[in-house]
Amino acid sequence: MNGKKGSVEINIPSAGTTKIKVQQPGSGKSSGGDGDFSIKAWVWKVWEFAREDSNRVKFSFKVGLAVLLVSLLILFRAPYEIFGTNIIWSILTVAVMFEYTVGATFNRGFNRALGSLLAGILAIAVAQFALSTGRVAEPIIIGISIFLIGAVTSFMKLWPSLVPYEYGFRVILFTYCLIIVSGYRMGNPIRTSMDRLYSIAIGGFVAVLVNVLVFPIWAGEQLHKELVNSFNSLADSLEECVKKYLEDDGLDHPDFTKTLMDEFPDEPAYKKCKNTLNSSAKLESLSISAKWEPPHGRFRHFFYPWSKYVKVGAVLRYCAYEVMALHGVLHSEIQAPYNLRITFQSEIQEVTSQAAELVRNLGKDIGNMKRSVKTCLLKRLHSSTERLQGSIDMHSYLLTTASCDPPENSKPFPKLFELSNDQQADAESESNHDLEKDSDLTTPKTFSGTLPPEFAAQAESYHETVRKQSRRLHSWPSREVDAFEEEGGLGVDSLPRMRALESTAALSLATFTSLLIEFVARLDHLAEAVDELSKLAKFKHEGLLVQPSF
């Protein structure tokens, strides 16, 4: 019955095995053999999820405890005889009001209390007015009031300034509808409204009490830790990206068209930096919740500047954009030759290490709630950046006439400052003279006379060595080079096109260094934002903090 719907497939193995596999139609897995393994894998995944953040277990325990406490009012006969079936509203209140953090619970409780109170008052007033109009007009008035309340609350919760109170308008809607309809059927709207308001108050009180007294999870502490971790993630991602860029020789460079940037397993810090870019909504939510919390722990004064944490996070994301752009250059198809990258290795590493050190120190100051002097670090960083800029400017000819050595040759290019003073002056003058006269792209320019013979030979064999490296992934674009080979070699007409393509590959190094310099420039704004936060939050002072002036 193979190929027909509803068939049962029986695989009879060869002698020596007696397993019979029965597969039911529509099932993706066999009926036996994998159950225990799947359960073990699922249990292990749950264990890892709980161990990653112990607060998740604490939150679950607190919710269960709060629901149990309000359920006792129904399980025991005495409170049930007092409140009756309306005590169910206590369980409903705990279920919808209990949030992960204390601040979020206070915020949700405020919206719940205010919405229920307004809904109860409106329900009582409308019910009394409808009752006085007679039995015929009473249901009409109640129906019209339900329509108006639903339309007004739904419109008001969309108002931009009232979006934080969206839950309160929702509470007004369903509480008003339930109270006035049940009161109409039961014939006593005032008693119904008061019983349900009492039940809501009991549920809200239990939810707040349990959340504050039993393993409290403060939104302010969560916001503080989240911001500090973002600083460390940014520094780690920067160092990881620069390290791979300087160590990658291009031989095993992955094909970007087949490998997505999110799937690089050897870059764990990249994903953390990406999470920093996506943390805007989380920081904003934690900041709103933290404003509802009373002074606690290390945050012991009123009106703590939680909004400044969001501002620092925004400036930090402003810096993280540059790091993500550096990762983009690292995994781009246009790659500078390896020996050109390591020519500026010392300057790039120096800037990177000092920038990462500054970012970590800023995060450490926020984590320890202390203010320390950052002028020296900023001056050192700016000095290193100026040296990198000067080196790129002095040796810019390497970015336009760079020589691609064969794969076995990975030595950096010689720099002008490695020559004598006379040779350096002659080389600079000749380089400027060549750039002014370089109008014919069919004839490659080379340095002669004052430059070492080794460098002159490298410049003369530039296009020849590129052709030999056509199979290397960082010789971009490989398809263009292969096409030139199929045509029978590099002709005179193809030289301008080849020089343009190869110059673009060399200029990717200039792109990488310019992004790194821009990252350093943005660190000034980050230092200013952290300093402003430390002043408003009254961090412990560790010395005179001098504002940098560059």
Q: Are residues 245 and 111 in the same domain?
A: no
Mean pLDDT to the nearest integer, 443-469: 47
Within a domain: residue 158?
Answer: yes
Range of the domain at 113: 50-213
What does residue 250 show for φ and ψ, rounded to 5 degrees?
85, -5
Residue-wise pLDDT tens digits, 357-405: 999 999 999 998 988 877 888 899 999 999 988 888 887 766 665 444 4
> Could you tell me the pTM of the whole model?
0.71
Q: Are residues 103 and 143 in the same domain?
A: yes
Residue 493 has pLDDT above 80, yes or no: no
In contact, 480 and 500? CB cutoff 8 Å: no
Q: Are residues 203 and 223 in the same domain?
A: no
Residue 231 has pLDDT above 90, yes or no: yes
Residue 147 has pLDDT above 90, yes or no: yes
Within a domain: residue 454?
Answer: no
Residue-wise pLDDT tens digits, 65-101: 999 998 888 888 777 777 777 788 888 889 888 999 9
CA angle 427, 432, 436 (to 5 degrees): 145
In this prediction, residue 153 carries a pLDDT of: 92
What is the three-state SS of 404-433? CCCCCCCCCCCCHHHCCHHHHHHHHHHHHH
Domain count, the chain: 2
Residue-wise pLDDT tens digits, 29-46: 444 444 445 888 888 888
pLDDT bracket for residue 500 (50, 70, 90) = low
Alpha carbons 370 and 537: distance in angstroms, whole number: 10
In this prediction, residue 248 carries a pLDDT of: 63
Q: Are residues 183 and 323 in the same domain?
A: no
pLDDT bracket for residue 542 (50, 70, 90) = low
Residue 507 has pLDDT above 90, yes or no: no
In this prediction, residue 206 carries a pLDDT of: 92
Residue 239 has pLDDT above 50, yes or no: yes
List of residues 6+ apart from 288 with CB closer than 8 A: 103, 107, 164
Residue 4 has pLDDT above 70, yes or no: no
With b for 16 or more beta-carbon neighbours within 10 A and e for fewer, the 308-326 pattern comes to bbbebbebbbebbbbbbbb
Lowest mean pLDDT among 63-72, 216-225, 226-235, 471-480: 471-480
Instruction: Tell me which range, 59-63, 295-299, 473-477, is most confidently predicted by mean pLDDT.
Output: 59-63
The type of residue at 197 is: L
Q: Are residues 386 and 279 in the same domain?
A: yes
Write down the mean pLDDT value for the chain.
75
Residue 259 has pLDDT above 90, yes or no: no
**What CATH number is attached to the domain comprising 535?**
1.20.58.220
